[in-house]
Amino acid sequence: MAVRTYCSRGVWYALRALTKLGVLRYLTFSVRAMIMGRKVRVPVMQGHGPGALSVGEPWGHALYTPLLDSFPGTFIDVGVNLGQTLTRVRITHPDLPYLGFEPNPICVQYSRELVRLNGFRDSPIVPAGLADRDGVVDLVMNNDDLTDSGASIVQDFRPGLKVLHRVTVTVLRFTSVERDLHIGKLGVVKIDVEGAEREVLLSMEQRISSDRPAIVLEILPVGRPEHTDRLRRQQDIEAFFARLDYRMVRIHNKGASTRLERMAAPIGIHNDQQLANFVVLPAERCEEMLPLLDRAIAQQ
């Protein structure tokens, strides 16, 4: 199946050819892309960046606009990676308060260059991960790409896979960041942190409870019953949302079309990556928001 891209096919194949020749890692330039109807300059820095040109999670284009319109406030982007969500937010809401968190130093450098190239206003990125403690941890990569979107601060999150890189990174509690940065009321929180969702949520619990933001997050499948740590983490997340009176809605991304699936039962054990993304809403906003989100998804 051909990869869907934001750039022309010619540019995409040229990038692939340069990668195979081993040349791309020596080059730095930008590529013209069309994202959500807007021209965007996507940096390619010493081989890093082609991943930002492939169309990933297209449902995000449809969902973020109604969520951002309905939940005004600061957008918290936990797991910036190559700035894919940052770009969407700045295209649709250029003046919305934004704060990103990213522990991978290469991704931080890349995303800051993305901000500079496109003149995105007020898009600060904290060079740290969010967790339930302040400290330093290993960012573990099972992929040779040093911007690996699957990198995790959860040790042995993918048992059996060879660890190719370990990078020592900083993690902070949300309350520690608040002491030095003015963070207004939370509007929407995006969490994509490869297994560390529980720690992020616990770090932000007080503000989530008081501000009642919408939350978009990925919870990777447990896979098998013997993955007890993954299952415990998933159950802790479900208990967290139940405690704060939030409702989980799965972004059902299988088959010919995407739809939103109301969760009538726990997530359970499965191994389908297409069922790993969720919109989580305050219970008091569900009746209002779900029809809006259904329509947005249907029209994508």
Residue 1 has pLDDT above 60, yes or no: no
Query: Does residue 45 carry a pLDDT above 70?
Result: yes
pLDDT digits (tens, 9 = 90+) for 114-170: 999 999 999 999 999 999 999 999 999 998 889 989 999 998 898 888 999 999 999
Q: By the 8 A CB rule, do 77 and 86 touch?
A: yes
Q: Could you tell me which residue, 254 or 7, shows the higher pLDDT?
A: 7
The Cα 268–Cα 266 span in angstroms is: 5
Domain positions in the chain = 1-55, 56-298
Length of the chain: 300
Pairwise CA distance, residues 65 & 92, whole Å = 7
**Mean pLDDT value across residues 21-27:** 95
- pLDDT at residue number 156: 86
Residue with tokens 């060879």: 162
Task: Give the separation between CA 273 and CA 218, rounded to whole angstroms.
Answer: 10
pLDDT at residue 257 greater than cutoff 90: no
Instruction: Give yes or no for a contact between 98 and 74, defined as CB atoms under 8 angstroms apart.
Output: yes
Mean pLDDT of all residues in 52-78: 92
Q: What pLDDT score was predicted for residue 255? A: 60
Residue type, 16: R
What value does the mean pLDDT of the chain take? Answer: 94
Of the chain, the percentage scoring pLDDT greater than 90 comes to: 84
- Is 156:178 a contact under the CB 8 Å cutoff? no
Q: What is the pLDDT of residue 256?
A: 63
pTM, two decimal places = 0.95
The CATH classification number of 56-298 equals 3.40.50.150
Q: What's the rounded Cα separation, in Å, for the pair 117 and 41?
A: 6
In this predicted structure, the answer to whether residue 2 has a pLDDT above a threshold of 80 is no
H/E/C letters for each residue in the chain? CCCCECCCHHHHHHHHHHHHCCCHHHCEEEEEEEECCEEEEEEEECCECHHHHECCCCHHHHHHHHHHHHCCCEEEEECCCCCHHHHHHHHHCCCCCEEEECCCHHHHHHHHHHHHHHCCCCCCEECCEECCCCEEEEEEECCCCCCCCCCECCCCCCCCCCCCEEEEEEEECHHHHHHHCCCCCEEEEEECCCCCHHHHHHHHHHHHHHHCCEEEEECCCCCCCCCHHHHHHHHHHHHHHHHCCEEEEEEECCCCCCEEEECCCCCCCCCCHHHCEEEEEEHHHHHHHHHHHHHHHHCC
User: pLDDT grade, residue 59 (50/70/90)?
Assistant: confident
- pLDDT category at 56 given cuts 50, 70, 90 is confident
Least confident residue range of 108-117, 252-261, 280-289: 252-261
Q: Which residues contact 100 (CB under 8 A, 6 or more apart)?
A: 76, 77, 78, 80, 86, 111, 123, 124, 125, 126
